[in-house]
Structure 1
Amino acid sequence: MSFGQQVVVTPRNYEFKFRKMPTITTHYAMVGISAVRDDYPLYFDAANEKGLGMAGLNYAGNAYYPEKEEEGKDNISPFEFIPWILGQCANLDEAKKLIDRIHLVHINFSEKLPLSPLHWLIADKSGKSIVIESDKDGLHVYDNPVGTLTNNPPFPKQLFNLNNYADVSPKMPTNRFSDKVNFDLYSRGLGSHNLPGGMDSESRFVRALFTKSNAPAADNEADNVNNYFHILHAVEQPKGLDEVGPNSFEYTIYSDCTNLEKGLFYYTTYNQRQITEVNMNKEDLEKDDLIIYPIEDKVEFNREN
């Protein structure tokens, strides 16, 4: 379902108020997809002006947030996690130090907006990334050697599952079956025949990583952004394929990316396939109020006659 998400730029002097921690009046500016409630940006994913990005992904059934605060820790609600990190950290090393002091405590935004069960991906301009998971046995921080995250299961299980796909390749296969059997390689792409094609998050993790790992790198922004969206669209969910209730289906509402070097934010939606760009640095980042762009989500045709 839609939560009224919009592209939101939070400038440096917007007051970030936290439930258990002091208000931050000056911080790094950030841009991303967010719902805004009571003038507060509830970011789904965002990146700051220093080139640190962060995204929350569904982690239902595993995410656990303790009810009690922990003395001596930074008690942060999960809905505050993204602005707490992106507001203060310029890179992954700084984020790790701040996370070491964090205690994610169960505080809902409101009665109508309870916490979402999430785990998080954080990355910086170096290309390195980490995964944060809050489980019943504590808060875990994993180095992410593959730079990919989807939803369940826990990240270590996602990595282990990759072992089942070591034979998947963009190249045509060679006959390792038997020298007594001749094969007719009847189609291009047979090297990826065993790539999982399901809508489940484990299949999408493998498919996203395979596509990302083999995608070409270009020397210009347009081609790289275009390639990036092809990676995301390789794992998007069309309507009608992932039933979550009677006549109700999960589907990919939007896809986005950020150039961490330039502060350029891009997105597409289920209905609007043209890539929309928002340049954070064209805004007055010294302001103290949110800068909001409604999502472009209308089907449009480029009619030539």
Structure 2
Amino acid sequence: MNQKEVKEIAKQLHAGCSSIAWDTLDGKHLWGRNYDFNQIAASAVTIIPKNYKYYTAGTPFDHNLELTNISYSKYASVGVGTNAMEVTPVLYEGINEKGLMGGQLFYAGFASFPDETKNHHTPVNPGYVITHILSQCASVAEVIDLITNKITIINQALAGSLATVHWVFSDRTGETIILEPDHQQITIYRHTAGVLTNSPNYSWHKQNLLSYINVRNNEFPDRDMNGIKVQKPFKGTGALGLPGDFTSQSRFIRASFLKYYGIKGKNEDQGIQYLFHFLDNVAMPLGIVKVENQDELSAYDQSIYSACMCAESLNFYWKSYENSTIHCLNLKRELKNQNIKTYPLENRAPEYKLVN
């Protein structure tokens, strides 16, 4: 793969997304996300084994690899990502063998990183954060300790693209944390609502919820207004005022509404199905969100794939825009594996089940 191709792949770090952490009635913890962008290349469902050697910063294309930045994975993990950087698999999201789940989401206009690494800290490229954290941490508590005391996420591009992202992690305790790189430092939000989209920051999105406190799931009653009976000829008045566009702020409101009122699945199978339905409600259909730069591979942003996972079973589920069949990979079956393994996203025409 030449440097020009790698630079195009590095742009995928700017994908805009929506994510939801959820649970089931029998106590399973789930996390899911949409990957929204206008292209995806050289990416696949990727398994990183234990004791895998990788760099926390630098690429051979940028000529900035340092032996002091070599690390080895303590835990196996799986997620969608790319091996285009050669020295380190770049995961966009994933789950590890301890049930820690999380992903990166676009954070344009806000993300800022320090140029220098703190004393005794390991430098980590923003694009390698998911890979490094899933390789090293067993819980959100360990993520917080790593971010606070052991690593510095630095202002370093990958093949010409700086990953302007923020991150979300969830585990078997049910806690979901959000990490945002503001003003060259990491802001950690604990015990969050488990919903995240893109810019502005999480604090702004929480404040914006006040504008929609009138939205509910109950139908508004018919009224008698000065002797005139006003009867609704339609359903859905409870959700009246819920924004339907595809901006980050509107997707955050819809995802929050869905999580607050949504019926939980009774078990993992049902919970995963329901979570995919919720993600469909904040997904970008092809043709609706036009890309300004006509030189791009596709003229439209779309939800290229959706991924969901379960902290207890270590099942990783995904479906693509081109094939809505839900695929599943169980990480427990891969714990003895010693090599990187990949599985295609199945971006091809779907298979239909003929019933007559």
Shared fold by TM > 0.5? yes
Q: Which moved more, 1:21-30 or 1:143-152?
A: 21-30
Equivalent positions of 1:1-305 (< 5 A) are 1-19=39-57, 22-37=69-84, 38=86, 40-101=88-149, 102-111=151-160, 114-136=161-183, 138-174=185-221, 182-245=229-292, 246=294, 248-283=299-334, 285-300=335-350, 301-305=352-356
Say what the alpha-carbon RMSD is for the aligned residues: 2.1
Report if aligned partners of 2:255, 2:278 keep a CA contact under 8 Å in 1. Answer: yes
Percent identity (aligned):
29
**What is the distance in 1 between the residues matched to 2:118 and 2:223?**
57
**Unmatched segments (≥5 aa) in structure 2:** 1-38, 58-65
Task: Give the CA deviation at 1:178.
Answer: 7.7
Identify if the C-alpha distance between structure 1 residues 287 and 172 changes in structure 2 by more than 3 Å, giving closer, same or farther. Answer: same
**What is the distance in 1 between the residues matched to 2:109 and 2:191?**
22
Task: Give the CA deviation at 1:22.
Answer: 4.3
**What is the distance in 2 between the residues matched to 1:9 and 1:52?**
15
Task: Give the CA deviation at 1:302.
Answer: 2.2
Report if aligned partners of 1:15, 1:288 keep a CA contact under 8 Å in 2. Answer: no
**Normalised by the size of structure 1, how large is the TM-score?**
0.92
**What is the distance in 1 between the residues matched to 2:87 and 2:153?**
22
**What is the distance in 2 between the residues matched to 1:125 and 1:177?**
51
**What is the distance in 2 between the residues matched to 1:287 and 1:132?**
31
Q: Secondary structure at the match of 1:253?
A: strand
Structure 1 runs, 4 residues or longer, greater than 6 Å off? 175-181
Higher RCO (C-alpha under 8 Å, 6+ residues apart): 2
Q: Which moved more, 1:133-142 or 1:26-35?
A: 133-142
Task: Give the CA deviation at 1:87.
Answer: 1.5
Report if aligned partners of 1:9, 1:31 keep a CA contact under 8 Å in 2. Answer: yes
Task: Give the CA deviation at 1:26.
Answer: 4.3
For 1:265, the aligned partner's letter is F
Task: Give the CA deviation at 1:144.
Answer: 4.6
Task: Give the CA deviation at 1:181.
Answer: 7.2
Report if aligned partners of 2:101, 2:170 keep a CA contact under 8 Å in 1. Answer: yes
**Unmatched segments (≥5 aa) in structure 1:** none
Report if aligned partners of 2:54, 2:87 keep a CA contact under 8 Å in 1. Answer: no
**Normalised by the size of structure 2, how large is the TM-score?**
0.79
**What is the distance in 2 between the residues matched to 1:179 and 1:28?**
68
1:194-253 per-residue CA deviation (whole Å, 9 max, x = no partner) reads 111001011001111211222222223321111010010010000111112248211100
Task: Give the CA deviation at 1:43.
Answer: 0.5
Report if aligned partners of 1:13, 1:286 keep a CA contact under 8 Å in 2. Answer: no
Report if aligned partners of 1:14, 1:287 keep a CA contact under 8 Å in 2. Answer: no
Q: Which moved more, 1:78-87 or 1:212-221?
A: 212-221
Report if aligned partners of 1:122, 1:131 keep a CA contact under 8 Å in 2. Answer: yes
